[in-house]
Structures are given as structure tokens and as C-alpha cells.
Amino acid sequence: MSSILTNNSAMVALQTLKSINGNLAKTTDMISTGKEVATAKDNSAVWAISKVMESDVQGFKAVSKSLSLGESTVSVARMTAEKVTDDLKAIKEEIVAAQDGTVDRVTLQERVKSLVAQINSNVNSAQINGVNLVNNSAVTVNDVDGNYVDLDGDAATTGDTGIQVISALDRSGSAVTASKINVAAINLTGLGLEGDDGTGTNIALDAIDVSTAGGALSALSAIEDMIDTASGAAATFGSIQSRMETQNEYVSKLSDSLKSGIGNLVDTDMEEASARLKALQTQQQLGVQSLSIANQAPQALLSLFRG
């Protein structure tokens, strides 16, 4: 039955055209924004997952900055420990020379005092942002509850001085915890460096005195312990610095992988979107043509009333 009041063909063509226009608008938006899932309305589950991943990327940026700062702090401590080791070797030369009773021990002692002062000066200036890992000014580290943190692994029950550097974020479901690298301070100031004088008595670096034969003999035994302490500190800091460098590289690669994963979830496939756009533009033209044909149907009814 034909009717001039109800044009079913036109209604069908109109609904089809509306659907095509809606899809065309969505595809155009995807192309212009570059995102297939830009809001929770587009795909709530995928959007929620992508936001969690984005928050992790932001967290890893902070981790990378922490590692970089920690690496710089440890690097300064390592270089200082290496310099202290070299200066201690120079002091050892003076001590060895003082074993000869024919030399001027007073002059040698002045040289030793100068080198000791140089060590103390270098050690006290080896800081970044107020943190110095090679003198006794490093802060005591406690956890968030104020409990003692064992930084040097000696299982002691007193607080260690040093720093904790955030190295990673560990996620288990919705729970996130921070992994940390512990760095214990090693005191290399004159009073912090001590060595056995050969009789079981420790001599501090500041107390070395080669102006006498007995003092020179005691210093010769003690200086070896001091060199071992300084070189051991350099090796410890070097190992930690290497670990931080490796961890920072890993965090950078992990962040890139997360960004890639987010892109796979929410970014627009531009090749597919381009093909869809062309198809929808063609469908739109056909839809407009179909609607035009359907709107002309009532006019055909006029021919029924012509004589």
C-alpha cells in the first residue's frame, strides 16, 4: 500500500544515512586525534587499562630521575675513594722513606700532613645535594615507620648512614611497591681511616707521625689497612654505580615497552582508518542518493489521478 502520509522507504534511507554519518564522524575523530580509544565512552575496559599503564610510565620517569641522582651521588663517592687511595699510596711512599734513619723525618712528616689535609678536604667536599657518602655527615636511614634499615648488610641493630635509591615499581594487581637500592656511607675522613700498627692498636690517618723511628714503623703497618679500606670503598661504590646504570637502562626500556603497549591499545590504525573513511564517504553519497529517490516516491502517486 502506498501512502502520501507515511514514506517507509524514506524513513529507512534516513536511518541508514544517520548511521553512516555517525560512523563517519567517529572515524574522522579517530583520524584527527590519533586515538581509537580517547575516552572511557569509547571502550571503558581498554581505557581503564591504558590509564593504569600511563600512571606506571609516569612512575618510572620518577624512578629514572631517582636513579640518575643516586648514580651521580655514588659516582662522586667512587671518584673520591679512588683519589683517597692514590693519596694514601703517596703517603705510603713518605712512610717508606721515613724508615731510613738518614732522612729528614720532620720534612717527611710535613709532606704527610699536607697529604692528610688534602684527603680530608677532598672527602668533605664530595657531596651532591648535601649528601656525602664518604664522611660521617651522611644521614641515618630509617623506613617509613621509623625502623632501622640495614644498609651495609652486617645485620647490626643500629642505624646505618647512607641513602636508599628507588630502583623500580613492582605491581601486583592494584598493589604497587617500590624496590630500593641501599647505599651505605663509608667514612674516609682522617679519623675514619684507621690501621693496625702491628701491635693490635689502631692508628687513625690524622695520627700518623713519621717524625720518629717508632712512629714511622707503626705507620708502615697501619697504612696498608687504610689503603685496603679506601680501595675497598672505591670498589663497593663502583659496583653500586654499575648496578644503577644497568637498572636505569632497564627502566628506560621498560617505559618504552609500556608506551608501545599503550599505543597498541588506544592508538588509531591509520591505514585501516583511511580505508574506512573512504568507504564511509562512498556510503554517505549512496545514502543521500537513496534518500533522494525515496522522497520522490509520493510524487509518483500523482500519476494515478491524472485523466
If 0-12 CB within 10 Å is exposed, 13-18 middle and 19+ buried, where does residue 44 land?
exposed
| Contact in structure between 88 and 230 (CB atoms under 8 Å) | yes
Structure-model confidence comparison of residues 246 and 5, the more confident one: 246
The three cell numbers of residue 27 are 572515524
If 0-12 CB within 10 Å is exposed, 13-18 middle and 19+ buried, where does residue 114 land?
middle
Asked if pLDDT for residue 199 goes beyond 80, the answer is yes
Q: Give the separation between CA 261 and CA 255, rounded to whole angstroms.
A: 10
pLDDT in tens, 61-102: 999 999 999 999 999 999 999 999 999 999 999 999 998 878
If 0-12 CB within 10 Å is exposed, 13-18 middle and 19+ buried, where does residue 119 land?
buried
Strands (DSSP E) contained in the chain are 162-172, 175-184, 194-196, 202-204
pLDDT value at position 250?
93
Average pLDDT over residues 96-111: 89
Q: Give the separation between CA 73 and CA 303, rounded to whole angstroms.
A: 94
pLDDT value at position 145?
47
Amino acid at 114: S
Bridge partners for 169 per DSSP:
178
Q: Could you tell me the domains of the chain?
A: 62-263 (1.20.1330.10)
Residue 175 gets the label, from left (phi > 0), alpha (psi -120 to 50) or beta, of: beta
Average pLDDT over residues 107-136: 89
Q: Give the separation between CA 140 and CA 132, rounded to whole angstroms.
A: 12
Global pTM exceeds 0.85: no
C-alpha distances in Å from residue 307, one per residue of 99, 192, 302, 303, 304: 141, 122, 11, 9, 8
